Chains A and B, each alone.
Chain A
Amino acid sequence: MSTTMERPPVRAPGPEGDARTVALRSRARNRVFWTRFGMQAPSLIILAIVLAFPLVYSVILSFQSYSPVDAEADGRFIGLDNYIRMLGDAQFGRAVLVTIAYVVLAVGIETVFGTILGVVLSRLIRSRRIVTSALLLPMIATPLVVGLMFSFGLNPQFGFMTDFLRALGLVGDGGVLDSAGGAFAALVVMDVWEWTPFIALMVLAGLSAAPQAQIQAAELDGCNTFQLYWHVMLPMVRPVLIVAILFRATEAIRQFDQVYILTGGGPGSATTVNDIFQYRVSFAAFDMSYGAALGVATFAVVATLSAILFRYLNRKGADA
């Protein structure tokens, strides 16, 4: 390291001078390192407190038997029991399936609609700003408010959404939330309503940044509009789209507020997504250690998923 860093000396130093220069440089490098470290220390310490500590604590808790409301579950170590219990827990399995179905459906529909919407937006000239601003509105609302809005709209007695769906003959007397399929569909629609604009805006940004030369070349070569979008512009926005999907997928996996407000995870376990299940285990049943094991497992899955997606993204980025 030191040899590569050395520059040609201005005057030929003696052997002791050489050693002194190396020592001085090493000290200087040390100082630079500690200065940089010192500058970043506050954020690193905060990060360690808010991220690393809870994670480590959760991992430790997941090997214990602990419940604050059960004197017998006093925090003794029970090895892998919580993880073994998780593997045999049919209700957890169901929650995982519901979560997967929810994420795939919601994010999938958002991606298709969002891309189409983004393309349409890119073709608007005068009204683009107004339409883009209007599209931001659903995203600005907090998830809890969106949940409450749909909860009122879908009320089986006086909800305007229920009335509308009833007029179309799509739902019966009991309303949308009366059946497993209806309640699940309501959650997917709610997420699509709120987050399709996000994908659309990302696509719009990608299209705006696309190199015009290639697009013009394609036009000169006689591509029709569909071909231009499908074969030229879509591949250009793909990296942006994947980032958007990644964001949405990690958000959707953590879905909680809207489900809690709208269905409470029911009817039955039809809308019990993973986070609702974990909330019930940890804060309704106060089985903290099993809840921690579930949390650790979820973290591992989400981290792996993110790593795969980032890797894919990097490769595609390199290809582009």
Chain B
Amino acid sequence: MSHSTRYAPGRRSTAARAALTTGIITVLALAVSGCGGSSSGEVDPDAADGWSQEFAGTELNVLAEATLNSEILAELAPEFTAKTGIEVNIETAPFAQLVQSVTLDFSTAQGDYDVVSIPYDYLGAYAGSGYVEEITPLIEANADRVGEEFDETDIVEGLWETAATWDGKSYGMPSNSAVTMMLYRADLFENPEEQDAFAAEYGYELAPAQTWEQYRDIAEFFTRDAGETAAGEVLSEPMYGVTMAGKRHEASVFEWMNYAGGFGGGVVDADGELVVDSDESVASLEYMKSLGAFAPPGFTSATWDEVTANLQQGIAAQAISWGDTAGAMEDESQSAVVGNIGYGDVPVAAEGDEHHALHGAWTYTISTQAIDKDAAYLFTAWALSAPVQKKIGEMGGVPATRSAFEDPELVAALPSWPQQLASLENALARPRNAEWPQMLDQLALQVSTALVGDSTSQKALDDAQSEIEGILGDKLPLKAF
């Protein structure tokens, strides 16, 4: 011991010197990198195009869903940097991982992300917990800092409402306008032989289904074994009337919500009461189950990925799926049905009823921990500006502004475009309350249980209703959802 104390001061001084040296080097390194940072903040005033350059040098971290929209934005981001001098790092992650990363970042107030694209059904969870900024004050405060290409009134109204409004306030702007629609094989529907055969069998003209009854008839009609013919060609593999998601997964719940919307059922009614076990909801799940007879084998282990693949391979005649898969249908490198897919409204229970799609939007939100909220807002405004939205459409993504959906060039080039806008205008929203993730988990369990026949539709939805009542407790009827 005494030895060590005798030598300690010397050692300490050596250690202190080493620490000091390391410290100086670190400070110098930081200073040098800092200088580098500030030099990258230099921006050409002529490139501003009406966008404010007062935040030049700010570095924003953006986390977005792993979709085409985000990839396109990452590609276009240098244009934003050229205009504003704001550097943007765009990170992407699939649904589940994104939600987990965001929740961790928000709840620990780490502030790793300044702008986060969230699935809109987490709005109540994040806005309700005070994790994201209200957008309206930012729009007002930055009215003079955004270029003329951005016009917030151009954002599709119903979409913005669903994507960002929580408890009367707006918390972001839509980053993705995914919405459900009916996809069908237009080439088969327009074939005279098929039309005659269908009319002979069902007593009415073959046309895109308006009602669920027609949808089922068409599904039955086009379900054929290998060796039979379709539109005059011998089938080398079986063809199915529909393709659908039935795995224990949110994809199955969202699929069911389309049927439920058409039948007048669903999860929550306009008064905030649970209607999971209503007669209409049960009938819609029963209907979904009956479609299983015309779906490719093993639909009970399929999600939207299989639905898209089945349509692309041309082995299914119809599906209720997401509009943002239209790009994949028309992509020659991966689709066998380019130019052969038609897009229509989600059917209804009886002709004359109002059609309802289901929103699948994502929302740009600005974290309350953001390094600079105004700079973060400028980025979201730029992402929704007219030229960027048009490019998103051109490159196969789904924009959120009306002008992009009504752009003559895009309408001429993209067969799904008119339907995308029509579906966006009639779409319903999923609940967005903080407990929705738990409700969704229960619904996924019970929809799957009913689809594989382990329980009846009635019992499955009764069970879901009672579990969800347990989750919500005295919050029923829901005030905000």
Contact = CB atoms under 8 A, between A and B. Distances in A.
Interface of A: 27, 31, 67-72, 91, 155-157, 173-175, 177-180, 183, 263-270, 272, 280, 283-287
A269 to B, nearest CB: 6
A216 to B, nearest CB: 56
A156 B107 CA distance: 41
B305 to A, nearest CB: 11
A264 B247 contact: yes
A258 B252 CA distance: 21
Contact of B248 (A31, A68, A156, A268): A268
B129 A70 contact: yes
Given A71-B129, A266-B247, A180 B452 contact: yes
Given A31-B1, A286-B103, 17 more contacts: A69-B128, A70-B434, A71-B130, A71-B434, A155-B298, A156-B296, A157-B298, A174-B298, A175-B298, A178-B301, A263-B248, A264-B248, A267-B449, A267-B452, A268-B452, A284-B440, A286-B125
Interface in B435-481: 435, 437-438, 440-441, 444-446, 448-449, 451-452, 454-455, 467
A172 to B, nearest CB: 8
B122 interface: yes
6 shortest interchain CB distances as A-B pairs = A156-B298, A266-B248, A68-B107, A69-B125, A268-B449, A285-B438
A205 B96 CA distance: 43
B300 A177 contact: yes
A308 to B, nearest CB: 33
Nearest to B303: A264
A175 B296 CA distance: 11
Interface string B121-132: 010011011100
A200 B96 CA distance: 38
Contacts of A269: 445, 449
A38 B296 CA distance: 65
Contacts of B454: 180, 267-268, 270
Given A156-B297, A157-B298, A284 B452 contact: no
Most A Cβ at <10 Å: residue of B126, B248, B249:
B248
A71 B445 CA distance: 26
B159 to A, nearest CB: 23
Interface string B117-146: 000001001101110000000000000000
7 contacts: A69-B103, A174-B300, A178-B452, A179-B452, A267-B248, A268-B446, A286-B103
A263 B301 contact: yes
B129 A174 contact: no
Contacts of B434: 67, 69-72
Interface in B414-438: 434-435, 437-438
A286 B104 CA distance: 10
A268 B129 contact: no
Interface string B57-74: 000000000000000000
A175 B104 CA distance: 38
B100 interface: yes
A285 B298 CA distance: 27
Contacts of A264: 247-249
A107 B435 CA distance: 38
A15 B247 CA distance: 85
B294 interface: no
B343 to A, nearest CB: 25
Most A Cβ at <10 Å: residue of B107, B452, B455:
B452
A186 B103 CA distance: 34
Contacts of A180: 452, 454
A314 B345 CA distance: 70
